[in-house]
Structure 1
Amino acid sequence: MNAPPPHATIKAVVPAERRSKLTTLRYVLRNPLEGWPEEVYSAPMVRTRTMGHPTLFVMDPDLIREVMVEKADAFHKDPATKRALGPALGRGILTADGAHWRWQRRLASPVFRHENVQTFLPAIVAAAGRTHDEWADAEGRQIDVLHAMMRTTFDIIIQTMLAGAPDMDVDRVAESITAYLRTSGWAVAMALLRAPSWMPYPGRRRARRSGSYLRGALQQAITARRDSGASGSDLTGLLLAASDPETGQRMEDGDIVDNLLTFIAAGHETTSLTLSWSFYLLSRHPEVEAKVLAEIAAVAPQGVGPEHIERLVYTRQVVQEAMRLYPPASVLMRLAVADLTIGAEVVPAGTTVILPVFAIHHHEALWTDPYDFDPDRFGPEAVKARHRYAYIPFGAGPRICIGMGFALLEATAILATLIARYRLTPVRDTPPRPLLHVTLRPDGGMPMRIARRAARTR
């Protein structure tokens, strides 16, 4: 039943205690997953040093709750994350701390209420339908499913977030995001070395150009919206109209750019990856794929529509299990800004605390057969029996991903629409190597071959 596990391809070769600074940098630049101590897959907590800095890996769910919920105010975003993402995302919800983060979160939270997200479903299903139609011309050919999913999710972004910017260059935006993330390892390495922010590194100039293009394109869209006097029910319109329920403060254009870029990077990139891994896993597990197809046929015999998505329970479980095995956000990092304890461990201010999400989701003490693909792990009873903080693909606590509901509905809708009519088979015999550069990408993309399923009544 089970595809070859990814673990053997990412386990560290050199034990942490014997690594030189040069070896650590190689891991950071090549694939940080390969640099984690082997014990993160079995121990509750691992204390080590990274480039001479105190570092604490936390895997135990009770301790995760301490870090992310009970003592969240004692932590800030770590400098490496800010250095890697700040030039593009500014000080939006993902990168801000303290009061600046809190007021943005209060202002944006109503935008992602369930009733608002539901209004986006017709646009999501329509975009999935357009990809469905495009795939008819690619039948029998090899495509990069990751690239196809990037285009689909960006189509959704245009409709749900940027309805006033229909002429935005989709391919250039996608390329700019990829180019920016590709250099993130160097940005993190510079932060670990405590190098000054002006210090050059390979790809830095291109990454800056990509970030500038993304910010400029969004600023033009916001300016055009303001000049038109139209509000609109897309995300841009909702942010332009929103005000802090406590203070009445509104977002300036720069704040809106920061947060739109955050939502685009998070929603576009991470959902595309989730879908790519989902298609791959289903291709390797035909018995699971058959259950998905049976559910779709029972719920939506005439074709998937907006009204069907929340009833596709097992299909959603497939998405959730794909995010367990291949979490797009595979690591969460925090910096302790005050002395504190986590469990029985004293954690001095200045310690980097790492929640290695990939390892937590494959932890032998938390999951039975952790490398097996089993969507039944997300049935109601299984979820109830499991610790809340053993599964954290969207983070946890007050900073849990604000777009979680949107992302799950989007991924379920796209997967159901496409898998019902097309069978995808991998081109490569070996599993894609998970490569962590801010998000968890399949190294070399996700090349698969398309075949149309036997037609059914739509």
Structure 2
Amino acid sequence: MDLMTLILFTIFIVGLITLITYHIKRLNLYRAAAKIPGPPTYPLIGNAHYFIGNTADIINKVMELLSAYPSVIRVWLGNQLFIGITDPELVKKVLLSPKTIEKGDVYRFIRPWLGKGLLVAPAATWRAHRKIITPTFNIRILESFVEIFVEQCEILIKEMEVELEGNEFDVFDYVSRCTLDIVCETAMGVSSKVQTRKNSPYLDAVKTITEILYMRMFKVWLHPDIIFYCTSLAAKQKNCLKYLHGNTDNVIREKRAQLNNSPDLKNTKSSEKEKIQRKAFLDHLMELSDEETKFTDKELREEVNSMMTAGNETTAVIDTFAIFILANFPEVQQKCYDELCEIFGDKVNEPTKITRDDVRRMEYLERVIKETMRLFPVGPILVRNVTDDLDIEKCVLPKGSSVVIPVIKLHRREDIWTNSVEFDPDRFLPDEVAKRHPYSYIPFSAGPRNCIGLQYAMMSMKVLLASVLRKYILYKDSKIQIKDMKLKADMLLKPVNPIKVKIMRRKKIN
């Protein structure tokens, strides 16, 4: 046997031993998976062939598979085992268990963007950071942002005036610019003025990077870094990250300088003093961090970018779906407007500022928003890693697998939600809520790792929708059935076709 043959033979034996050892270590995983129903699998790719196509095809295929296997389903993406569940009690067990507190491995693709921010942080980092960050989301601080919500929504109303009495127009562009202006001011304390500009590099970068990330999550051949970073997608992602990180880093540097040169408030006018004292999340984070737990500039950037992502894109999508609902169902819109008339009286169409107390009284509008999030959950799929075997009664989730909670399917289960694809805000009356399992509705996730900004989001959405309804009547040329809405998932749930509405100026109440 010559030297080359010996080398090749040695490589083959080492490779074979490595492969056998790898599979022996995973025997528990294979045995558990065999007990769970699921579609037929193929060598190497598993069920990855089901997810070939665009992001609309992927969400449709997910819904089809969940309909075929309504309780628990097993799916392999390459060598990764995913177990989907839609039973509220099982969902509760998963979201409350310390064995499933880690976000799924697929979230690692987001870390070049958000690093170890709360959205995707490993459990140990998440626990430490959440403890520090939670005080910045207390109700007093959140309510201090209402004035910012109102100011930016007033600009939105003015910008939309060009569409008066015209054809249907894409409402998301207007809304996303408004929510970006809001989140820039509340999260970073800077005025971006995106609404009054033609172009927004930030929005363009976010749109591009979210499409790339979601595509990579479901395309198993793009999982290995060595392959992904050889593609044109990686180059696009790099450019987006350079802009997004640079933008936040510049703000942090400016904030550091401001902290070192704080203004003397004694001789400052009261209006200017209020603006100086009205602090953004970034200001609070810098002040709350003590010497032992002080955030580095990199950690600050990761947390601020996480807040920016959650505060802008998510609320913009929900607001847009809600505007569609209001335009599509005139009777719902009228009830919302009637509630606003009760709150503001004959000043409902006047430029009267919305106050914190006004926001609290918008109960029917809140139910409309909740029902919108039931039908169109902005985070349609949650994924958690299983770090140790977890018995959830119907099956054992084996260590090394990932558990998938398809929120959109959970929110449309006919056995929980009668006529599940019909819009009915009264599902969220207190008596109705009490009848349902608390984990049958989780638009902001649930358990200890739920979304920290749910109150912030609800307040900002109420102000935006109320501002629009006080000024304009929303309507569509023809009604669309919710079951006919085509959806896609570019990380967030979105409509395939842009949501378009018409607006007409409301007549002032005499």
TM-score using structure 1 length: 0.89
Aligned to 2:212: 183
Aligned to 2:224: 195
Q: How does 1:319-358 map to 2 (within 5 A)?
A: 319-358=369-408
Write out per-residue CA displacement over residues 64-104 of structure 1, whole angstroms, 9 at most, x where no aligned residue: 111111x1344421121221x11111110011112211111
| Residue pair 1:107, 1:242 contacting (<8 A) in 2 also | yes
Pick from 428, 432, 442: which aligns with 2:495?
442
Q: Are 1:252 and 2:299 matched, yes or no?
A: no
The answer to which of 33-42 and 232-241 deviates more is 33-42
SS at match of 1:328: coil
Aligned to 1:218: 248
Q: Measure how far apart 1:223 and its partner are.
A: 0.2
Write out per-residue CA displacement over residues 200-231 of structure 1, whole angstroms, 9 at most, x where no aligned residue: 34533212211221111000001011012248
RMSD: 2.4
* Aligned residue pairs, count: 439
Q: Are 1:272 and 2:316 matched, yes or no?
A: yes
Aligned to 1:10: none
The answer to which of 49-58 and 254-263 deviates more is 49-58
**What is the distance in 1 between the residues matched to 2:53 and 2:478?**
25
**What is the distance in 1 between the residues matched to 2:330 and 2:477?**
16
| Residue pair 2:88, 2:439 contacting (<8 A) in 1 also | yes
Write out per-residue CA displacement over residues 239-265 of structure 1, whole angstroms, 9 at most, x where no aligned residue: 111127xx8411111111111111111
**What is the distance in 1 between the residues matched to 2:476 and 2:39?**
35
Residue 424 to residue 16, structure 1, CA distance change in 2 (3 Å): farther
**What is the distance in 2 between the residues matched to 1:91 and 1:81?**
11
| Residue pair 1:164, 1:225 contacting (<8 A) in 2 also | no
Q: Are 1:283 and 2:332 matched, yes or no?
A: no
Q: Are 1:53 and 2:83 matched, yes or no?
A: no
SS at match of 1:338: coil
Aligned to 2:108: 82
Q: Are 1:64 and 2:64 matched, yes or no?
A: no
| Residue pair 2:322, 2:372 contacting (<8 A) in 1 also | yes
Q: Are 1:17 and 2:63 matched, yes or no?
A: no
Aligned to 1:312: 362
Q: How does 1:125-274 map to 2 (within 5 A)?
A: 125-141=150-166, 142-164=168-190, 166=192, 171-189=200-218, 194-197=223-226, 199=228, 200-229=230-259, 230=262, 233-243=279-289, 248-274=292-318
SS at match of 1:436: strand
Aligned to 1:5: none
**What stretches of structure 1 move > 6 A for 4+ residues in a row?**
167-170
SS at match of 1:203: helix
**What is the distance in 1 between the residues matched to 2:247 and 2:425?**
39
| Residue pair 2:103, 2:383 contacting (<8 A) in 1 also | yes
Q: Among the aligned pairs, what percent are the same residue?
A: 24
**What is the distance in 2 between the residues matched to 1:452 and 1:113?**
37
Q: Are 1:292 and 2:336 matched, yes or no?
A: yes
Q: Measure how far apart 1:194 and its partner are.
A: 4.3
Q: How does 1:332-411 map to 2 (within 5 A)?
A: 332-411=382-461
| Residue pair 2:101, 2:123 contacting (<8 A) in 1 also | no
| Residue pair 2:210, 2:490 contacting (<8 A) in 1 also | yes
Aligned to 2:133: 108
SS at match of 2:40: helix
The answer to which of 192-201 and 211-220 deviates more is 192-201
**What is the distance in 2 between the residues matched to 1:79 and 1:378?**
34
Structure 2 residue identity aligned to 1:305: I
| Residue pair 2:103, 2:384 contacting (<8 A) in 1 also | yes
**What is the distance in 1 between the residues matched to 2:333 and 2:239?**
42
Q: Measure how far apart 1:445 and its partner are.
A: 2.3
| Residue pair 1:282, 1:288 contacting (<8 A) in 2 also | yes
**What is the distance in 1 between the residues matched to 2:375 and 2:316?**
15
**What is the distance in 2 between the residues matched to 1:167 and 1:414?**
17
**What is the distance in 2 between the residues matched to 1:149 and 1:166?**
15
**What is the distance in 2 between the residues matched to 1:429 and 1:316?**
23
**What is the distance in 1 between the residues matched to 2:136 and 2:477?**
41
Q: Which has the larger radius of gyration?
A: 2
**What is the distance in 1 between the residues matched to 2:240 and 2:48?**
29
SS at match of 2:314: helix
Q: Are 1:122 and 2:147 matched, yes or no?
A: yes
**What is the distance in 2 between the residues matched to 1:316 and 1:57?**
30
**What is the distance in 1 between the residues matched to 2:454 and 2:62?**
27
**What is the distance in 1 between the residues matched to 2:184 and 2:223?**
38
| Residue pair 2:39, 2:47 contacting (<8 A) in 1 also | no
The answer to which of 194-203 and 121-130 deviates more is 194-203
Residue 87 to residue 197, structure 1, CA distance change in 2 (3 Å): farther
SS at match of 2:102: strand
Q: Are 1:93 and 2:132 matched, yes or no?
A: no
| Residue pair 2:181, 2:193 contacting (<8 A) in 1 also | no
Q: Measure how far apart 1:21 and its partner are.
A: 4.7
TM-score using structure 2 length: 0.81
| Structure 1: gaps spanning 5 or more residues | 1-14
Structure 1 residue identity aligned to 2:426: D
| Residue pair 1:146, 1:276 contacting (<8 A) in 2 also | yes
Decide which structure has greater helix share: 2
| Residue pair 1:421, 1:455 contacting (<8 A) in 2 also | no
Q: Measure how far apart 1:280 and its partner are.
A: 0.7
| Structure 2: gaps spanning 5 or more residues | 1-37, 263-275
| Residue pair 1:186, 1:202 contacting (<8 A) in 2 also | no
Q: Measure how far apart 1:173 and its partner are.
A: 0.9
| Residue pair 1:132, 1:417 contacting (<8 A) in 2 also | yes
**What is the distance in 2 between the residues matched to 1:276 and 1:159?**
21
Residue 108 to residue 267, structure 1, CA distance change in 2 (3 Å): same
| Residue pair 2:101, 2:449 contacting (<8 A) in 1 also | no
**What is the distance in 2 between the residues matched to 1:437 and 1:382?**
32
Q: Measure how far apart 1:420 and its partner are.
A: 2.3
**What is the distance in 2 between the residues matched to 1:18 and 1:140?**
55
**What is the distance in 2 between the residues matched to 1:348 and 1:329?**
25
Q: Measure how far apart 1:189 and its partner are.
A: 3.5
Pick from 433, 441, 444: which aligns with 2:486?
433
The answer to which of 283-292 and 391-400 deviates more is 283-292
